[in-house]
Structure 1
Amino acid sequence: MKGMLAMAQQHYIKYLRDVKDQSISQIAEQLGVSWRTAKKYADCSDWNKAEPPLRGKFPIMEAYREQVDTWLIEDQTRPKKQRHTAKRIYDRLVSEFGFAGSDRTVRYYVAKRKSELQIEKSEPYLRLEHPGGEAQADFGTFQAIIGGQLVERKMLVLSYPYSNAAFVFVTPKENTECFLEGLRQLFEMSGGVPNRIWFDNLSAAVVSVGTDGKRKLTDEFQRFALHYRFQPVFCNPAQGNEKGHVENKVGYARRN
């Protein structure tokens, strides 16, 4: 493994050292890391996140990152002339959220995030409207320690672009059973069922996509949608940005 290990992996090394009483060499061999890396995390006593003093890093933006990222991602579906400028984002933060930082801070952050998201290189798309009552759903993957083992788990996220709300339910897999049970739980959490829900062409719902764009849905998913009376809407193949709001929420949930 190269670079810094994920937090779950760091904690697993500490678990093997303190609970399983394994040697540094045993840990390094089991996880396929160097002896130096295994020792670093096995003997670590300070788990505070290191924050090197990077030039141009502005803590005041932390509380607004999610909202700004949402605007930038959704801008990918708009014509270039209708996208947010840094000045427009600053004005909205001040008027809608009481932002107390400077215009320069916002300009720096927006330029940095546009570069990272490669927004300027994205293809033009038709603008997608998401009125109240519409939602987006997507799976995300994360690692956790369960029963002393480092395992991979899935989280199903249901987000509402109109209100910027989101709900998360953890599942062991992405199969049909987990998918439908996850949606049911998310409806309970959010207090209702959306009129329309945007999905990827995930195998738990879609059997195949024809050359004409028509989708053959699984019987289980069709019955589920009929029971809860929502209209499923599917993104074009390989065009996950059409549901950029929920993808942003998946990343936020994973980081937090």
Structure 2
Amino acid sequence: MYSVEIYGRIRRAVLVEGKSERAVAREFGVARETVRKMLRYAVPPGYRRKEPPKRPKLGPWLGVIDAILEDDKNHPKKQRHTAKRIFERLRAEHAYTGGYTIVKDYVRAATLRCREMFVPLTHAAGTAQADFGEALVLVGGEERKAHYFAIDLPHSDDCFVRAFPAETTEAFLEGHVQAFAYFGGVPTTILYDNTKLAVARILGDGTRQKTRAFSELQSHYLFAEKFGRPAKGNDKGKVEGLDV
């Protein structure tokens, strides 16, 4: 079975770099049918969920939400539903009794999936810099240390920042997903330090062995990575210098 990293490299070669399936099969030494399978799945099928995660509180209303979002495609952007408006309609018209957050999260994810399909591969979204940082915040009148994930777009000077309770793999992945939703697309290349959330180990020749979670993220969103020099935080000057 091929690794997630190989899946990501092959998928990017075809879907982003525009290479033919035949050329990629020859370059990586795999069968063309294997390339086709990798284009259908972001990770090896053996590791995929047999069923999507259940959303018991929202499940009966997913079809309603999807129908609203599909109908919105026929209307100007300013006339489309916000997550809050969808939530209000679910409660008023469809006896929905759940919370707003789960509706907002689903709408955001569905909108991002739609946007991903239309990111123009011939017009690079540009480079980005990503990092975790720490800041002191006031919570209930008490000063506490918070961890924040940031992705900065140096060219446009746009930046996404989100605070998390801890610097974990889950926060790292969720930070990317929310940043891509905020930007409305995915950068072509993202520069990182050598965080253990992305780099499992640095080999003798300087090659990075990436973590499985990071490889899966890359294989899904098809962005390229660059890593700064070990112990050289100034390689990411923009995102390192954020004032939050």
TM-score, normalisation: structure 1 = 0.45
More contact order relative to length (CA 8 Å, sep ≥ 6): 2
TM-score (norm 2): 0.47
